[in-house]
Amino acid sequence: MFKYPGGRQYKVKETEEAVQPLHQNYGNRGMTLEEDLNSTNEYYREHGIAIIHKKPTPIQIVRVDYPKRSAAVIKEAYFKQASTTDYNGVYRGKYIDFEAKETRNTTSFPLKNFHEHQIQHMRQVLQHGAICFVILRFASLGEVYLLDASHLLSFWERQQSGGRKSLTKQEIEQYGHHISLGYQPRIDYIRVVENIYF
Amino acid sequence: MFKYPGGRQYKVKETEEAVQPLHQNYGNRGMTLEEDLNSTNEYYREHGIAIIHKKPTPIQIVRVDYPKRSAAVIKEAYFKQASTTDYNGVYRGKYIDFEAKETRNTTSFPLKNFHEHQIQHMRQVLQHGAICFVILRFASLGEVYLLDASHLLSFWERQQSGGRKSLTKQEIEQYGHHISLGYQPRIDYIRVVENIYF
């Protein structure tokens, strides 16, 4: 939901993300993973637990109009591919960085949900001592996992060398950590972060 | 400079940022502070020194067209105010967060360059153990300073209680740290970060 300057809300159609699908595996059923995480991060900020934000969607601006006595209007722009992950911030002084994706599959998680730039970014931040992971949601099952980026990188490399193009659910259960879902916060991933990184 | 999908480059007019001026104190002379910092951050990434990115400019999207067989086109959107600072990332495992601003003044730095949301964000990340600062450029003098956010917060509070609406250059020299300028990296702020925070 984007808020129109006048206060009206504008429901963005799913197909809007044609250039870089954000909710490519998601239907119009209830909250998206992004909404759940935004709400969770807001909870963390308000309760002084962590300061983590979603980065704005990167846009290539081509044409802008400047109507007299009113705000500049962007008249032509395109979605562009992010060069980093979507979420970052600070928890207990440490740099936290993650990407969140979901699938409707029930037995595996396709690697095509990630792109090379994001993988490269995760590799870099890990080298600099960051806490870096992915949050993976199996939408049909209602299950969410946190998987350290180092494991994702291994599976990515397996694919690069001709291996399977997805992580099996079993692999995610083995190397990842189940995140319990709640009302507030909805996806309490910081509890898992606290357990496994501190 | 925004790159048009076809590869052409598009020079964005300065007035484009009418909603939230990014270069409000900057003319068309050479590199902007943002360009210098992007180049510096690229240098840091390529040399494995730090992973720091500028966040995309936040945009409110109102209308999107989906031409057949081509990328979605944003036809109506507005610049919106950032809720955080512009730059963040990781250096030696620690979360780094900063905002960069410049003025043509030569004796003081106006606090109107910052807005309440950014100040609030800096206060929050400091509470969570982040390294947080502002990079202040005196454009006419060609001088750049790093000032820890805690000092900026003090000057902000002084203003809130009826005090002056700017930092004097003398205060910046006293509480801040001069950043030496170079060719590569252009604004070597990590050298200062290393000296004062580690």
Give me the pLDDT at residue A15, please.
Answer: 35
Give me the pLDDT at residue B30, please.
Answer: 58
Min distance A132 CA to chain B CA atoms (Å): 11
Residue A22: pLDDT band (50, 70, 90) is very low
* Cβ neighbours of B53 in A, within 8 Å: 83-84
* Cβ neighbours of B56 in A, within 8 Å: 55-59, 82
Min distance A187 CA to chain B CA atoms (Å): 20
The verdict on whether residue A107 carries a ligand-binding annotation is no
Could you say which of A59, A94, A124 has the minimum Cβ distance to residue B59? A59
The verdict on whether residue A157 carries a ligand-binding annotation is no
Residue B14: pLDDT band (50, 70, 90) is very low
Give me the pLDDT at residue B54, please.
Answer: 96
Min distance B39 CA to chain A CA atoms (Å): 15
Residue bearing the bigger pLDDT, B142 or B27: B142
Give me the pLDDT at residue B130, please.
Answer: 97
Give me the pLDDT at residue A69, please.
Answer: 85
Interface test with A, best of B128, B133, B194 (most A CBs within 10 A): B128
Nearest residue of A to residue B51 by CA position? A125
**Tokens 């003090």 belong to residue:** B154
Strand duo B143-148 + B131-138: pairing: antiparallel
Q: Domain A9-197 belongs to what topology?
A: Trna Endonuclease; Chain: A, domain 1 (3.40.1350)
| Contact state of A60 with B5 under an 8 Å Cβ cutoff | yes
* Cβ neighbours of B65 in A, within 8 Å: none
| Contact state of A18 with B66 under an 8 Å Cβ cutoff | yes
| Contact state of A60 with B3 under an 8 Å Cβ cutoff | yes
Q: Domain B2-197 belongs to what topology?
A: Trna Endonuclease; Chain: A, domain 1 (3.40.1350)
ipTM above 0.85, yes or no: no
The verdict on whether residue B84 carries a ligand-binding annotation is yes
What is the rounded average pLDDT of the residues B139-147?
97
* Cβ neighbours of B67 in A, within 8 Å: none
* Cβ neighbours of A93 in B, within 8 Å: 94-95, 128-130
